[in-house]
Each structure stands twice: as C-alpha cells, then as structure tokens.
Amino acid sequence: MKTEPPIYFFGNEEHTSSAPKFYNPKDFDWIPVIEANWLTIKEEMLKELTPDDIVISNYNPNLVKAARVWRNICFINYLWKKKEVICKYPKTWALLQQIPNLSYAALNMLEPQSEIYPHIGDTNITARCHLGLQIPASLPLCGLKVNGQQIAWQEGKIFAFSDAHLHNAWNKTDKHRFVFVIDVILPQYAAKKEKFCSNILAVLTLKAISYKIPLLSLMPMFIASPFKKITALLWRGYIRWQ
C-alpha cells in the first residue's frame, strides 16, 4: 500500500483513501493488553458517572442534531494532554501509556435514539480504535458504518478503522452507548508525529472558530494558510512544554 501524504481535513471534503476500511487488530501489539484490562477502564470511568457529568465541548452542527447527543471525556487530543482528566482516572491513563504512538484517547458517549451523521475524521495519519464498554445492542440497532461496511461494537473488544473514510454511527436503543476511542499514529508517520499533530490541532482550532463565527469558513486561503502555520507553531511549542 502506497503511503499517502499527510492530510488535514478542514471540512467534510471528498477523499478517496488508500487505507483499508478496517485494520487487522493483530497488527497492533497493544490491543490484547487493553482488552485484558477493559473492565479496569469501565469500572474506573463508568462506576459513578452519569451522562450529565460529561460536559458539552466544541459542538459541530454538521455531525449531530444537538450538542448533547455525542460527548466525550478526553485524555489526550493529538498529543495535547488533558491533565485534569488524567489525574481523575489514573488507572486508565496508566494503561494508555502502554500504547505506542498514542495520539488521542477519550471516553465517548452516544445518547439513546441518536445518530452521528456521515463524516470524515481529522486526518489520514491515524488508525482509530473503538473499545466497547457499555453497548446496549448489536446491529441493526447500534453500530458503525465505514465506507458502506457495517460493524457492531462488542463489550471488551477493540476494532480499528481508518476514519479518513466516510463513516457514521447510530444508537437506536433507549440506553446510552459508551465506547473508549483510541487513536494511534500509523508507523509510516510516527517519526514526525509532533509536527503532524500540531498541524491537526491548528486545523481543529480553525474549525472551532468557524463554528462560532460561520463567516470565517469563507476566509480565503491566502489568509487562512498563514494563520494555520502560526497556530501550528504555537501548538508545537505547547506540546513540547507539557
């Protein structure tokens, strides 16, 4: 498979990726370790958690019908560590530290009778992995579709896919669905992960601003590009400072 250049998706632009829809879990040595300890994550994070405890972060109106539908508790976001969360869930963080090239990790909740609309991820340099923690049903009521191929979550099991492909998810049950999301940088990009993650964070910053000020999404490239470069440099400095 030919290595693609790193891509940072700003919108829901069309992209035909050479990456497989789903990766073979056997290609990731760390997956058996996390699966063997999945109850540690579930018990630490869900034992006393109620859905109202998960705050609404940046809301993308293109993905869900309302801000509360899809929420998360994030440990690390493209190398940006969330220290308050890390301190609150030390057992989970200790397990995450055993994952090579970890770039993102979060508890992810999808409300009952809800869906996440078809979309692409932030980049093509990662494999996105889902660990089922609390899954109210299997297909067809609850599942994920990647470029036309459906899959069901299973509690205690991980599957990995490329979210550079168009994908969507749904929970047509009366209970909340919880998965733990883990992104790892693919080996061919790992040597420059700090640079790539800084660029992704810069694009995410532009996205967050454009959601609040929609006119900025029409910003011409000759203005947006320098702003992204400056923002990426700031993020890179922050990641190193951490």
Do 182 and 104 sit in the same domain of this protein?
yes
Q: Is residue 5 part of a domain?
A: no
pTM of the model: 0.93
- CATH code for the domain in which residue 112 is found: 2.60.120.330
Q: Is residue 224 part of a domain?
A: yes
Query: How many structural domains comprise the chain?
Result: 2
Is the domain of 182 the same as that of 236? no
Distance (Å, whole) CA 167 – CA 17: 13
Q: Between 221-241 and 193-212, two packed helices, what is the crossing angle to 10 degrees?
A: 120
Choose the final residue of a domain: 189, 205, 232. Answer: 189
Sorted by sequence, the CB contacts under 8 Å of residue 188 that are 6+ apart come out as 3
> Tens-digit pLDDT profile for the chain (242 aa)?
568 999 998 776 777 788 899 999 999 999 999 999 999 999 999 999 988 889 876 667 778 888 889 999 999 999 999 999 999 999 999 999 999 999 999 999 999 999 999 999 999 999 999 999 999 999 999 999 999 999 999 999 999 999 999 999 999 999 999 999 999 999 999 999 999 999 999 999 988 888 777 766 666 666 778 888 999 999 999 999 99
Whether residues 62 and 164 share a domain: the answer is yes
Give which of 10, 59, 31 is closest to 129, Cα–Cα: 31
Full residue range of the structural domain in which residue 134 is found: 22-189
